[in-house]
Amino acid sequence: MRTHPFRFLVQSYAPSSPDDWREQARRAEALGYAAFHLADHYIGPGPTLSATGHPVQVVAAIPAMAIAAEVTSTIRIGCRVLCVDYHHPVVLAKELATIGWFAGGRLDIGLGAGWLAGEYEAIGIPFDAAGTRIDRLAETITLMRAFGAGGPVDVQGKHVHATGFEAIPVPPEAPRIMVGGGSRRVLCLAGETADIVSINFDNRSGRIGPEGLASGTAEATAEKIAWVREGARDRFDGLEIEIAAYFTIVTDDRAATVDAMAPMFGLTPAQFAEHPHALVGTIDQIVDTLVERRARYGISTVTVGADVMDVFAPAVARLAGT
């Protein structure tokens, strides 16, 4: 297994104001993070969102990415991840190419098949069977590659039709494509087609809950890496593997924190302590954990929330690029 240098991403959900959003992007850049991302969700507070268990996302992805690109100069801009069902594929490709063009090529395109069933219903988009959604994702990836390369576009699939025109604008460098998910088929597809594979929970339930967290244990993550390898074959060593540390807590009392948190998620302390989506402990302990997980899984890219980017920054300073 090839060892990739560490990269660290910030993901933001809830800026308190336009100035706060701009400051988060600038702060992530100043602290040495490699990329500044958000997610792709649209419904505000209310009974539908409450039923999904998902946090509120204040801003829409595409315009927020453009603002973040405009107020920064070196950090990459992206989305972890865009739900392909929420966007017309050609319009999305054009919008992303435009952001990449204005940003000087500092663009990561994160794509996923969609999973939050309540949001689909709330905004009037059919929640197709998983196989159909993944087929649509695969065709959208093909389209994004065509737009990234420039020149004539000819994608004539069952779900994506784009032909008879050239892709413009062409960013100064082709965007890197991240594909994320937690099921075997999505991760095989990611291994086959992506530059960055985002390892996530298996969210087939359509909401956030204990079953999703249970699908992200150490054993389950090892199985997911095997699925990525199955899809990637001889390109596996060139892939960057990313994971979100949703539970990042810098503390001097790791054991007590783990013991207190594990029952909240239906896990034993031992399971939570080694959960790949959790980073708990002192900076020294977290650094050691990240190095061990890279050796064990090949995970070299780690995403943390904007609310912890300052306290986590010493780990970035020690590991980024190594």
Mean pLDDT, range 66-73, rounded to an integer: 98
Give yes or no for residue 253 having a pLDDT over 80.
yes
**How far is residue 247's CA from residue 47's CA, in Å, rounded to a whole number?**
25
Q: How confident is the model at residue 205 (pLDDT cuts 50, 70, 90)?
A: confident
pLDDT digits (tens, 9 = 90+) for 104-136: 999 999 999 999 999 999 999 999 999 999 999
DSSP string, 95-145: HHHHHHHHTTT-BEEEEE----HHHHHHHT-----HHHHHHHHHHHHHHHH
Distances 57 to 16, 38, 46, 64, 317 between C-alpha atoms, Å: 11, 9, 12, 11, 28
* Model pTM score: 0.96
Q: How confident is the model at residue 215 (pLDDT cuts 50, 70, 90)?
A: confident
Mean pLDDT, range 47-56, rounded to an integer: 91
Q: Are 249 and 257 in contact (CB under 8 A)?
A: yes
Domains of the chain: residue spans and CATH: 7-249+276-319 (3.20.20.30)
**How far is residue 174's CA from residue 19's CA, in Å, rounded to a whole number?**
30
**How far is residue 146's CA from residue 273's CA, in Å, rounded to a whole number?**
42
Give yes or no for residue 206 having a pLDDT over 80.
no
pLDDT of residue 74: 98
Q: Are 114 and 182 in contact (CB under 8 A)?
A: no
Q: How confident is the model at residue 48 (pLDDT cuts 50, 70, 90)?
A: very high
Q: Mean pLDDT over all residues of the chain?
A: 95
